[in-house]
Structure 1
């Protein structure tokens, strides 16, 4: 049987891959609290640094749209009640802007012998292990902003909807390489589906 590491050549002794780790952060950021979910052993790959820029641009665009809608409704149509919800939404978006860098640094994935482990989140932590033999679909998507910055999102679909994973912010080359690796390994690990 083929290990996912055999189909992805690595040059560094630390397990980093030149394609999967190109333009990413050096280490996975994890929460500092004692109640955090542990990372475990192995090599963690992260998302592209450009993903933070996409998060910032999309949040700024959302903030501009909220402000424009509030001005039109509040000033032009003289609806005074609109300022309270607009302020609440703007505060939520500003909070997203403040933590975007930290959130992006908390996203990572690990290719183990039998499964892919995905981790994300600082405040709301999630760690999911997806067995290779249970993967039914590996999909790459990217919106206009993603294409402009050369990144993509890789989606893994399994029979159980709760274990589906979306890895955002991968470089286009890393997404294609990871897709090919996962399909190749999944074909050798089919478990009766």
Structure 2
């Protein structure tokens, strides 16, 4: 992977997240909205009558709305490796861009919970001296997460800011 700028334009070469994270989040959305819809229909059907059970279908609107929002959120996540720092950008309505200088990194870890492992995903967590600047890149392919961890660790050691 080449770092630096895109095509010599002076802009960072952004890398988006793989689709596995979107798939995982959408499957969780479907599971929880269907469960909530069935629970709502059963509870209302037993307590208020069969006509009220139809309100369980309102969770379908939540499913559609969440499906769209998850897609927009997933597309907003990206990162770029530059010569002296790592950029992480995310957010749809409130855009957040984090700049982590390599020399300020104290710890870079790769984590993967049970669901992430099932979908072949891992996250890279960056820790710096200031807790407010800790950053995370979720939903990476494990090989890319490990490559990024190794590269960031190497760059952090070579550019240590004397911490």
Matched, 1:74 2:44: yes
Would you say 1:128 and 2:91 are equivalent positions? no
Instruction: Give the superposition deviation at 1:99.
Output: 2.5
Provide the aligned length of Structure 1 versus Structure 2. Answer: 157
2:134 to 159, 164, 170: 164
Question: Equivalent residue for 1:22?
Answer: none
Question: TM-score, structure 2 length as denominator?
Answer: 0.80
Contiguous gaps of at least 5 residues in structure 1: 1-8, 16-39
Larger Rg: 2
User: In 2, Cα distance between the equivalents of 1:72 and 1:159?
Assistant: 51
In the alignment, which residue of structure 2 is the partner of 1:180?
150
Q: Distance in 2 between matches of 1:52 and 1:129?
A: 24
CA contact (8 A) 2:86 2:100 kept: yes
Unpaired segments of 5 or more residues in structure 2?
Answer: none
- In 2, Cα distance between equivalents of 1:143 and 1:175: 14
What are the within-5 Å matches in structure 2 for residues 7-86 of structure 1?
A: 10=2, 41-76=11-46, 78=47
4+ aligned runs moved over 6 Å, structure 1: none
* Counterpart for residue 27 of structure 1: none
**TM superposition shift of 1:130:** 0.7
Q: Which moved more, 1:48-57 or 1:169-178?
A: 48-57
Higher relative contact order (CA 8 A, sep 6+): 1
